[in-house]
Structure 1
Amino acid sequence: MSKIFITRQLPETAIAKLKDSFEVEMWPYEDHPVTREELIKQAEDADALLTMLTETVDEEVFQKAKRLKVVANLAVGFDNIDLEVAKKHDVTVTNTPDVLNETTADLTFALLLATARRIPEAVDYIKDNKWNTWSPFLLAGSDVHHKTLGIVGMGNIGQAVAKRATGFNMNILYHNRSRKKQAEVELGASYVSFDELITQSDFVVCMTPLTDETKDMFDEHVFQKMKKSAIFINSSRGGVVDEEALYQALKNGEIKAAGLDVFKNEPINHEHPLLELDQVVALPHIGSASVDTRMKMVELAVGNIDRVLNGREPLSPVH
């Protein structure tokens, strides 16, 4: 019987399909990732791995996993998996795209609104018993309506964010490797160069994947070109941002604020420099974290494993 190892505790109802046909081993903890040692040990006789972004699946894992046929990553991203090595070992890699587009767009726009209107600061203001009177500029933030939104990375999630922006009568700019003419027609978005986007936008939203080309693409030179009133939002990958440059840009008033759902090295703790700044709204990588969407992601990952182990094409292969 084929064996599957799942690297984080998942609801039994979500993996029942696998247990009906395969031997399933599962890391028994939901709140912390599998150890490296346990991952390698379990991979040695596994036919499939159901992994999270927290696991690095590299040459060492693939060399040990002689029976491995598929790695199903519970995420849209897959930069935690060495695709070239997977291909060399004839292992299929899958991800969970599309099912989380709308949920991630909801969170991205919520993060934009919370940052612009200083919502977390306002919550803390009351909790800290500072609200003694009304004043005209108390916790005054930035308008969102009728402002210019610049989206870097106009994939499905980027387009879903743009769709939400139309309800706020925003002027939508985007930059992408290729033009999205349907989005231009349906959403009124304008394709511009990267330089045009960062200099003209009131809100710069990063939705690009992490690649060699996008690593640290938001550096000190980029932040210096933005409006001093600009707000930067990142809910894609932390590695696309030079965090020291972002910290300095915020501290020196080169940009106004930042809303971040992702960081270069996750998880971060309370000592992270960006958390010193009141104008930063930080979230613990919860872009797709609704119960409905996470269950759909698990179902897709389970379906991918089931199909590969039964000799069929996966539903969402990475390569």
Structure 2
Amino acid sequence: MPKILLTNYYGSKPLAFVQKLVPEGFELIPLEQPGQDEVIRRAADADYMLVGGRTRIDAKVLDSAPKLKMIQRSGVGLDSLDLEAIRARGLPLYVNEGINARSVAEHTLMLILGTLRRIGEVNTVTHEGQWLKHEMGIDCHDLFGKQIGLIGLGSIGTHVAEILKAFGVNTVYFKRNRLESDRENQLNVRYVSLQELLEGSDIISLHTALNDETFNLIGRDELASMKDGAVLINTARGGLIDEAAMLDSLKSGQLGGAGLDAFSEEPMLSNHPLMEMNNVLATPHIGSITAETFAGMIGGALENIALFEGGKSEQISARRVV
């Protein structure tokens, strides 16, 4: 019976969810604790890897899995995968691109609105029995009429732009390859340079991949060039932002707030200085996870593995990266 190794650690409830989706004739190998060492310990019998989370899949992991036939990425990011090591071993790698894009886009909008309306702090004080209607209300802001700057405009950024059309905002974007003018008109977006985006946007949202070129894309200089009181949103990867510089900017008020679903170290520690900031709305990299998207993401990935095992790789819906 072919065995599928989960490289992400799931607690009892999500694991039970995944177990129900395993195709007949396959056995699931779950992790007993998170981390690369545990993946290596459990990899010897794996015919397939269902890769999720932030655990690095590199030569050490692959060398511990001599039976491995194929790797299926449940999400879209590739920064946790050593592509050269995978390619050197001749292992096919499939990625389910775009499957969670709409969910992340909705989460992005939630963080934008939640940060502008200080929803985390408002919720907390209201639960504590404080009725600070005017005291807190006058420190909140409308979305209408603001300039939104999208850095990156792939599947997720495109969905964000589509949603924003209903809010009466001015949406600008920056990406390496500019869209055709017809597509810009459809999305109601305007192309600008990165510097112009930083200087003119009230809200800046990150939707680009993490790589050597984009690491700390938003650093001290970029933060200093933003409008006073601007809001920064990150539902992509934590490494896109210099977190120490962002913390200083939040403390000084240069940055008015941040809505963060991704961090340089995950899971985020409860005593991290960012968690002490009232103007930070934080979620645990949950933007891509809802009941609907998790079922589609995991179910689709497992179906692809079953197709590969059955010699029907031409029917796999995911993109083959390697």
TM-score if structure 2 supplies the norm length? 0.91
Decide whether aligned partners of structure 1 residues 42 and 113 sit closer, same or farther in structure 2, where only a CA change above 3 A counts: same
Q: CA RMSD in A?
A: 1.8
Where 2:79 maps in the other structure, the secondary structure is coil
Distance in 2 separating the partners of 1:163 and 1:80: 29
Distance in 1 separating the partners of 2:133 and 2:29: 54
Listed as ranges, the matches of 1:266-277 within 5 Å are: 266-277=266-277
Shift of 1:195: 0.5
Q: Does 1:27 align with 2:30?
A: yes
What letter matches 2:150 in structure 1? I
- Counterpart for residue 86 of structure 1: 86
Shift of 1:136: 6.4
Distance in 1 separating the partners of 2:49 and 2:133: 56
- Asked if the contact 1:303/1:315 (under 8 Å) is kept, the reply is no
Q: Does 1:208 align with 2:208?
A: yes
Distance in 2 separating the partners of 1:261 and 1:215: 17
Where 2:278 maps in the other structure, the secondary structure is coil
Query: Which of 300, 315, 318 is 2:317 aligned to?
Result: 315
Shift of 1:10: 4.8
Where 1:190 maps in the other structure, the secondary structure is strand
Distance in 1 separating the partners of 2:266 and 2:36: 16
Decide whether aligned partners of structure 1 residues 126 and 136 sit closer, same or farther in structure 2, where only a CA change above 3 A counts: closer
* Runs of at least 5 residues in structure 1 that lack an aligned partner in the other structure: none
Distance in 2 separating the partners of 1:79 and 1:306: 25
Shift of 1:42: 2.7
Distance in 2 separating the partners of 1:89 and 1:121: 50
Where 1:129 maps in the other structure, the secondary structure is coil
Listed as ranges, the matches of 1:45-84 within 5 Å are: 45-84=45-84
Between the aligned residues of both structures, percent identity stands at 33
Where 1:151 maps in the other structure, the secondary structure is strand
Where 1:304 maps in the other structure, the secondary structure is helix
Hey, which bits of structure 1, 4+ residues long, moved more than 3 A? 35-38, 133-139
- Asked if the contact 2:172/2:189 (under 8 Å) is kept, the reply is yes
What letter matches 2:52 in structure 1? M
Decide whether aligned partners of structure 1 residues 156 and 134 sit closer, same or farther in structure 2, where only a CA change above 3 A counts: closer
What letter matches 1:295 in structure 2? A
TM-score if structure 1 supplies the norm length? 0.92
- Counterpart for residue 13 of structure 1: 20
Distance in 1 separating the partners of 2:28 and 2:37: 15
- Counterpart for residue 165 of structure 1: 164
Shift of 1:28: 6.2
Q: Which moved more, 1:148-157 or 1:249-258?
A: 249-258
* Runs of at least 5 residues in structure 2 that lack an aligned partner in the other structure: none
Shift of 1:63: 1.6
What letter matches 2:229 in structure 1? S
